[in-house]
């Protein structure tokens, strides 16, 4: 197997500046140490296999280090490949722990469960696909699913089990308290894993709370343009590398990934690098846009007697949780830079929820989230577990006033069609 390339060489910039650079600078330069070519833009490599040295004296089983490019050395692309390695290098820097890329968010979640191999997983609501993987694991080895927000269920956890927290939650965008669950995990001897898909950097840093593994569907904000699938696992730095001859978590995950085979493709790795360059710009803009819209919708609901309050009965978003208005709350500390670009709206009836998306011009009616374009989804289309009056909204980088105008005209058209 090729050596891990996420740590070595990666702190060259920190050393040169005597400090860690900003998130924005690291998004653009964290993979510079890997680039041995004069081209400024990254090349795309589609090769699945990489030549060994012609000098037999340099051959070392399982290692294929190119002396001209030690950080960009590979053997076979099911282990590592140039484009995904650069994607991982940037993510390792942005997430604050060595990161590995997978074919999709669910491939990453699956790899995490296989690696930690718990007997029980406490998991709340959230993305239904992760529950699907746990169901598969139950079929294979009897893994038990427990309810995260039920104290009696939490008490059933034992050493080596997992507390898995998705925050903010899909589809509501509401957040969960990571410090609380870290304390619980410590009391019970469990691992704490977090699906942080809905709040990528700079919105939230789960490692500040001692989380063991941070998972993302990179399909959402890391990709950011609705054109690639990706999953990411980042490991808490002190667990990553082995001591006393034992493999660390990073080495273990790399080895298991090569056997599971769920690696990210080279085109996706290339697209991912290109997208990460603008992560901070996009996410701040999307989150700010969202806050403007949610505040406006909230004020309309409160005032009553208008086209918003005629059709919408409730807004769910982290900014609407009671703790959001308390500057000392866990929520404000956990999400200091904004509450994320996804929220849910509850419409007056199933019919309202089903018809609103078709009245809009700037919002595509589609599933997924995190892209530069705004999406709205009558959530029943892809999730059978949610109330049929719910629509999920993912805000893009458009002008928020235009999005507001689109929602206004859509709600007016809905009122004409359905009355009320």
Ligand X SMILES: Cc1ncc(COP(=O)(O)O)c(C=O)c1O
Give the binding site for ligand X (CB under 6 A).
104-106, 127, 129, 166, 170, 195, 197, 217, 219, 229, 231
C-beta of residue 371 within 8 angstroms of C-beta of residue 226: yes
Q: Which residue is nearest to ligand X (CB)?
A: 105
CA distance 271 to 151: 43
Q: Judged by CB, which is closer to ligand X: 64, or 316?
A: 316
Phi and psi, residue 391, nearest 5°: -115, 140
Q: Judged by CB, which is closer to ligand X: 219, or 226?
A: 219
Output DSSP code: residue 364: E
Q: Judged by CB, which is closer to ligand X: 201, or 410?
A: 201
Q: Please report which helix (H) or strand (E) contains residue 34, including its range.
A: none
Least distance to ligand X, CB of residue 84, Å: 15
Least distance to ligand X, CB of residue 219, Å: 4
Least distance to ligand X, CB of residue 399, Å: 26
Q: Judged by CB, which is closer to ligand X: 217, or 311?
A: 217
Least distance to ligand X, CB of residue 162, Å: 15
Least distance to ligand X, CB of residue 115, Å: 17
Q: Which residues contact 182 (CB under 8 A, 6 or more apart)?
A: 192, 209, 210, 211
Burial (CB < 10 A; 0-12, 13-18, 19+), residue 152, is exposed
- Please give the full DSSP string across 214-269, using - where no structure is assigned: EEEETTTTTT-SS----EEEEE-HHHHS-STT---HHHHHHHHHHHH--PPPHHHH
Q: Judged by CB, which is closer to ligand X: 207, or 222?
A: 222
Q: Which two tokens stand for residue 36?
A: 């041995």
Q: Which two tokens stand for residue 379?
A: 């959530």
Q: Judged by CB, which is closer to ligand X: 366, or 408?
A: 366
Sign of the alpha-carbon dihedral angle for 78, 83, 86, 88: negative
Least distance to ligand X, CB of residue 122, Å: 16
């Amino acid at each position: 197997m090729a050596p891990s390339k996420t740590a070595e060489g990666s702190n060259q910039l920190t050393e040169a500046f005597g400090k860690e650079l900003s998130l924005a600078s690291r998004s653009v330069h964290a993979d510079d140490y890997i680039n041995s070519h004069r081209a400024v833009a990254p090349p795309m490599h589609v090769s699945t296999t990489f030549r060994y040295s012609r000098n037999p004296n340099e051959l070392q089983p399982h290692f294929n280090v190119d002396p001209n490019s030690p950080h960009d050395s590979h053997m076979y692309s099911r282990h590592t490949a140039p484009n995904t390695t650069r994607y991982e290098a940037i993510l390792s820097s942005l997430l604050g722990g060595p990161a590995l890329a997978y074919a999709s968010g669910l491939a990453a979640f699956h790899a995490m469960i296989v690696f930690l191999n718990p007997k029980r997983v406490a998991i709340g609501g959230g993305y239904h696909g992760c529950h699907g993987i746990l169901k598969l694991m139950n079929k294979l080895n009897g893994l038990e699913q427990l309810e995260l927000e039920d104290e009696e269920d939490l008490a059933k956890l034992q050493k080596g089990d997992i507390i898995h927290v998705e925050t903010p939650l899909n589809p509501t965008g509401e957040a969960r308290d990571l410090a609380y669950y870290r304390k619980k995990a410590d009391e019970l001897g469990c691992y704490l894993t977090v699906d942080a898909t809905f709040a990528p950097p700079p919105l939230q840093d789960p490692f500040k709370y001692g989380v063991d593994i941070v998972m993302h569907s990179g399909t959402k904000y890391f990709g950011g343009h609705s054109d690639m699938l990706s999953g990411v696992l980042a490991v808490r730095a002190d667990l990553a590398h082995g001591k006393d001859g034992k493999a660390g978590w990073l080495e273990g995950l790399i080895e298991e990934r090569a056997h599971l085979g769920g690696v990210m493709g080279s085109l996706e790795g290339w697209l991912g690098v290109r997208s990460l360059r603008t992560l901070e710009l996009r996410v701040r803009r999307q989150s700010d846009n969202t806050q403007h819209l949610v505040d406006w919708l909230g004020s309309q609901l409160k005032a009553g007697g208008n086209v918003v309050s005629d059709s919408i009965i409730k807004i769910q978003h982290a900014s609407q949780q009671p703790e959001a208005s308390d500057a000392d709350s866990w929520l404000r500390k956990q999400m200091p830079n904004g509450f994320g670009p996804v929220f849910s709206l509850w419409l007056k009836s199933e019919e309202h929820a089903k018809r609103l998306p078709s009245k809009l011009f700037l919002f595509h009616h589609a599933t997924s989230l995190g892209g530069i374009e705004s999406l709205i989804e009558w959530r029943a289309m892809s999730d059978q577990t949610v109330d049929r009056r719910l629509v999920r909204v993912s805000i893009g980088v458009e002008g928020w006033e235009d999005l507001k105008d689109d929602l206004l005209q859509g709600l007016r058209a809905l009122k004409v069609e359905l009355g009320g």
